Chains A and B, each alone.
Chain A
Amino acid sequence: MPDFDVLVLGGGPAGVNAALAASAAGLKVALFDENTAAGGQVYRAPVGAVAPLTAHQQAEQPGDTLRRELAQSAVITYFNHVVWAVTAEYRVDAAGPAGPMHCNGRALIVATGTTERIVPFDGWTTPGVIGLAAATILLKSQGILPGRSTLVAGCGPLLAAVAAKTIEGGGKVEAIADMAGLGDWGRTLPAMVSRPDLMREGFHWWHEISRAGAPILSRHTIVKVEQAHDGLRATLAPCDAAGRPVSGKRRSVVADCIAVGHGLTPSTEITRLLRAEHRYSRQAGGWIAAADQDGRTSRPRLYVAGDGAGIAGAAAASHHGTLAGLACAIDLGATDVDQLRSHVPAARQAHAKAARFGRSMAQLMALRPGHIDSIGPQTIVCRCEDVTRAEIDAACDAGARDVNQLKAWTRCGMGPCQGRTCGDVAAELLAARAHGGSRERTGCFSARTPLRPMAVEALTGDFSYDDIPILKAAPL
């Protein structure tokens, strides 16, 4: 007997809207998230200490709306719960503040968002080098500057967001190294026009940046970071459209903190674990579960929603969540299926409109083959196990063809992050060397439980040795 009709994994805009739609249709819904509140990474709630930066931010933000609607709904929430296993029968095992717990659902909606991709360069493991997403969390949620002086590098809209918020918070931005050129940004204009609000926000960021006099280095990439006596010394080089550093003036920039990010990859551990069909899409950010437009996967009663189903941005994720929640309610035969069906066309239309903007931003962050190819032989690719590019190439030359073979031979992706950080880059390296670039033939790391490293005591919970039944010894 299932505990819930639907279990939703992930409390970002997709997961919350999926839960709200399914709950409004009369289903009994539970939502799980690792964080203390809903919002996901994009609408992460500020910690108690953080005051809004400016007056206009005191108005209700999208994240506040999301949290309010969820609180007013009948959805049962499990925040601070790390889901570490999901079975084929949709039993979810989680570790929470009160210890281990599990529950069963008739259906599962996976809305686990993305992981930030950071393409390795010499020195990227140096403390003080952090992800652009990490810098965003410091600024927006923790109320902390990434550095008194910060270098912002990589690609995508987060560059401008991190730089502008650092400046607004009183920090200095030493430079912004953007792999995209002005032409790349120009190509996003038609889609940007569809979201004048976000376009305004973008222009506001660039205005802040130029007012502060922070140099913007277009078509530049970071090639090296070294620990210097006065901070971290980064070397920046001009690059081509494929992300490959080219000849030209190298620049040296010293900063306390280097915030770098090269886009997002969908988090698909759970759908891979459940052996749903997947497909590779460079535009969508990597491997994604094959799904219809409402998020139905190849597996009965398993749905995907939001950026984890393919990068399309936060606004699209909200609508995609609604679609997945409706699809789930329709498939489970909720009370008034015809009425639910009548909501679908409008939600699809809203999703398509929002996704157009998000996908044009995703184009700026798509993996650049020349960028991957330029990783140096001694550069660490797998941070957990300190595996270098040269070791990956050597495994390939020795015959490794599938990324899981590479993992077994080199330990690349076998460490505590379970390949979340290196998996996309390692597979791209192997694909280029072994399969003429075919990611399909290279495959994807197998997902394994526990989905996150777990302490044994988090799984056993509190127990008394007296309560453990001891079987009677077998007769000799």
Chain B
Amino acid sequence: MLNAETMRIDKAGRAATVWFFFDGQPASARVGESVAAALFASGMKTLRTSPRERAPRGMFCLMGSCQECLVMVDSRRVLACRTAVADGMHVEKVPEAGSDA
């Protein structure tokens, strides 16, 4: 797995580091980062599976257009690229199509 700190450009780190969880796995982020960017920097790149082929998918456009980074936060479906990380946040994968019917 990538070390998130080697991926951050300003290594001096002016903003505080916070911790959050993706499917129970801890990941670090700096205050202000989006869930999508922080997970990408942590090497957690597979965010969901496609409904038809069940193939792994991850962040793609990072601007709210492609819908590939859909995740669950507080039992709500949100785009990881449009959601800022909060300390202690629990992010989960969306249930596979059909499994929540």
Contact = CB atoms under 8 A, between A and B. Distances in A.
Q: Does B bind A?
A: yes
Interface residues of B, number: 45
Given A143-B8, A144-B37, A256-B2, A49 B70 contact: no
B58 A386 contact: no
Contacts of A386: 50-53, 55
A341 interface: no
A49 B37 contact: no
A415 B67 contact: yes
Given A48-B15, A130-B59, A133-B61, A145 B9 contact: yes
Nearest to A41: B63
Given A125-B55, A133-B62, A139-B9, A383 B68 contact: yes
Interface string A137-162: 11100111101100000000000000
Interface string B69-90: 0100000110000101000000
Contacts of B50: 125, 383-384, 386
B67 A384 contact: yes
Given A142-B37, A256-B2, A455-B77, A53 B9 contact: yes
Contacts of A421: 60-61, 65-66
Interface in B1-35: 2, 6-15, 30-34
Given A142-B34, A144-B7, A34 B82 contact: yes
Interface string A28-44: 00000010000001000
B95 interface: no
A256 B6 CA distance: 13
A417 B66 contact: yes
A455 B94 CA distance: 14
Nearest to A227: B56
A131 B2 contact: no
B45 interface: yes
**A-side binding surface: helix, strand, loop or mixed?**
loop
A82 B70 CA distance: 16
Interface residues of A, number: 46
Contact of B30 (A49, A133, A145): A49
B20 to A, nearest CB: 15
Nearest to B11: A170
A452 B12 CA distance: 38
Nearest to B47: A127
B7 A417 contact: no
A354 to B, nearest CB: 23
Nearest to A232: B45
A453 B67 contact: yes
Contacts of B37: 137-138, 142, 144
A227 B15 CA distance: 34
Contacts of A48: 15, 31-32
Contact of B64 (A34, A128, A129, A138): A34
Interface in A119-137: 125-131, 133-134, 137
B45 A127 contact: yes
A385 B14 CA distance: 42
A148 B7 contact: yes
A386 to B, nearest CB: 4
Contact of A385 (B11, B52, B55): B52
Nearest to B64: A34
Contacts of A129: 60
- Of all A-B residue pairs in the complex, the 6 with the closest CB atoms, nearest first, are A127-B58, A49-B15, A47-B32, A134-B62, A48-B32, A127-B45
Given A49-B31, A125-B50, A134-B60, 8 more contacts: A47-B32, A128-B58, A130-B40, A130-B59, A137-B63, A144-B9, A145-B8, A148-B6
Interface of A: 34, 41, 47-51, 53, 82, 115-116, 125-131, 133-134, 137-139, 142-145, 147-148, 169-170, 256, 380, 383-386, 415-417, 420-421, 452-453, 455, 457
13 contacts: A34-B64, A34-B82, A49-B33, A50-B32, A51-B12, A116-B61, A130-B60, A131-B60, A131-B61, A143-B8, A386-B53, A417-B65, A457-B76
